[in-house]
Amino acid sequence: MVECANYDKGENKLMIAQRNDFTYQLLMDAGIKKGLRVLDVGCGSGEVTFLAAEIVGSTGEVIGFDSNETAIAAARDSAVKNQFANTKFIIAEIDKLPQDLGRFDAIVGRRVLMYQPDAVFSIKSLLPYLKTKGLVVFQESDSMGSFKDVDLMPLHTQVQTWIWNTVAKEGGNIHMGMNLYSVFKQAGLTISQIRAEAVLQTLETGSDLAWVVQMMLPRIIKLGVVNQKEIEIDTLEERLNSERQNANTVFVRDMAFGIWATIH
């Protein structure tokens, strides 16, 4: 399995592998296979696109789209660098896709529905691009379980709270994972399976919390979630590492939910 064709410097590679293992298995179990044509919704820099591209192979095709021009540029660069000739990236909104895209065997997405003002509408707007009996496969995160380690790992819990509070203030649904089943039902899909897995962090796995805070720092400060002085970003990773080493326990980062379905 491809680990990740493009990632930001500083992110723990074990965390990338952990994140992508769940996604890769979800795609495989849902029925993504060689030769399929796949649409990746809100593809960002192409991480999921490249996972799907590896599965469908040279006889298949994966088109990723996102409204973020910088992310699409990074995805295109990674495709060239890593020789993913079976991928294509376009700039588009979920409800404003080009009419000439054609139809797909599967539509996939990760951590994108949580940012949609109406997730049911977003799913429905994608269905005209799906072939008969085509697959709809999505993965979403949920903050459930993330705040139960305050006694043993107070800093981890505090940092996680900053992250999720920022997402919530931006209008993101921090419980989209749990809402996936309802969203798919309301969109008129026939659900095949839904699953969930705790994302765990230990001394051995490392943690992506400091990296996430660094990436989100301007947003965290702008929204007034916490001030920069309290974050102490220059020493945050070191303090998190020390806490994990001394706590000798597992930190529940969040929950990853995966679902796949077909049209009636």
Cα gap 128→254, rounded to integer Å: 33
Structure tokens at 132: 């008969």
* pLDDT, position 14: 57
* Architecture in CATH of 13-143+172-201+252-263: 3-Layer(aba) Sandwich (3.40)
Sequential pLDDT tens for the chain (264 residues): 333 333 444 555 655 676 789 999 999 999 999 999 999 999 999 999 999 999 999 999 999 999 999 999 999 999 999 999 999 999 999 999 998 999 999 999 999 999 999 999 999 999 999 999 999 999 999 998 656 656 789 999 999 999 999 999 999 999 999 999 999 999 999 999 999 999 888 888 888 999 999 999 999 999 999 999 999 999 999 999 999 999 888 899 889 999 999 987
pTM of the model: 0.90
Q: Can you give the pLDDT at residue 146?
A: 57
